[in-house]
């Protein structure tokens, strides 16, 4: 019964996909390949499996959202025009995000940035992560449940797959716990997209006049000068949350 229900849901999504489909325009990533002209329906003739079909439950498959890939070029919104790939799947590829895909990291990230180009993500290429990783290392587009940034524990676990010594180096009894019910998330302090910023410290630890009056004269002087000269908090406060992170020699495709 469950299998039949899932099949009906899949058929309903494919019919909706066909109704919403619009022909994609060739991108710089695939300049010589035409669009399939058929949308998700033709892709699913080969690529229908539970992992791929999880996308049905994500915002990327929402036909009612005009910004969603589902309401535009569907699979080809992210994977590029794939008309030649449809006819010669083993000989001609498209934009691929898998472990053994030949698409470059820069090209994969640029595909995401075509839509996700506002706020922090607009500065992705300027940051350390943007130079080494693809968006898919943290965000699993076909997954209905995202490890980052939705769930607190899952987000920290994801970050520490690369930043190996962060949790072991955290002081016992820290006011900034990285595990447990009181845990803070990595992104409460660190900017995952774009250049690293330490301004979140003063989002919680305000250094206004009232706060300064409760500090020792020496601390008042240091903090006042730090604010005036825009000195990062960690110039003095090192190791209060965790040691400086050691970064594993990560394969950019390690999650795929």
Query: For position 38, what pLDDT does the model report?
Result: 81
- Cα distances (angstroms) measured from residue 185 to each of 2, 173, 189, 241: 37, 16, 8, 12
pLDDT for 95-146, tens place per residue?
888 777 788 888 888 989 888 888 878 888 887 788 788 888 888 888 877 6
- Cα distances (angstroms) measured from residue 229 to each of 18, 120, 232: 58, 25, 9
Low-confidence ranges of the chain (pLDDT < 70): 1-32, 146-152, 171, 195-199, 239-240, 243-256
Query: For position 248, what pLDDT does the model report?
Result: 54
Query: For position 27, what pLDDT does the model report?
Result: 43
Residue 29 has a CB neighbour count (10 Å cut-off) of 18
Segment holding 53, helix H or strand E: helix 50-53
- Residue 21: asked if its preceding bond is cis (omega within 30°), the reply is no
Residue 99 has a CB neighbour count (10 Å cut-off) of 12
Pairwise CA distance, residues 36 & 87, whole Å: 9
Residue 217 structure tokens: 């004269």
Pairwise CA distance, residues 194 & 231, whole Å: 20
Residue pair 117/67 in contact (Cβ under 8 Å)? The answer is no
């Amino acid at each position: 019964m469950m299998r039949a229900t899932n099949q009906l849901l899949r058929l309903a999504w494919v019919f909706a996909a066909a109704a919403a489909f619009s022909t994609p325009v060739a991108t710089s990533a695939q300049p010589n390949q035409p669009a399939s002209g058929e949308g998700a329906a033709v892709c699913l003739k080969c690529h229908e499996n539970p992992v791929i079909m999880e996308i049905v439950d994500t915002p990327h498959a929402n036909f009612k959202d005009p910004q969603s890939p589902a309401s535009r070029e569907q699979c080809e919104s992210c994977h590029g025009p794939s008309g030649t790939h449809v006819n010669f799947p083993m000989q001609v590829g498209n934009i691929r995000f898998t472990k053994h895909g030949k698409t470059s990291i820069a090209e994969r990230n640029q595909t995401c940035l075509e839509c996700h180009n506002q706020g922090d993500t607009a500065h992705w290429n300027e940051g350390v992560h943007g130079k080494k990783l693809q968006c898919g290392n943290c965000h699993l587009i076909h997954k209905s449940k995202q490890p980052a940034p939705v769930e607190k524990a899952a987000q920290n676990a994801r970050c520490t797959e690369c930043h190996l010594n962060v949790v072991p180096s955290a002081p016992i009894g820290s006011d900034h716990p990285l595990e447990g019910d009181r845990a803070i998330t990595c992104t409460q302090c660190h900017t995952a997209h774009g250049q690293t910023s330490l301004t979140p410290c003063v989002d919680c630890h305000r250094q206004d006049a009232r706060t300064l009056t409760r500090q020792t004269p020496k601390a008042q002087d240091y903090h006042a000068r730090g604010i005036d000269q825009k000195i990062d908090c960690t110039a003095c406060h090192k190791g209060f949350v965790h040691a400086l992170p050691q970064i594993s020699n990560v394969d950019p495709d390690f999650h795929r």
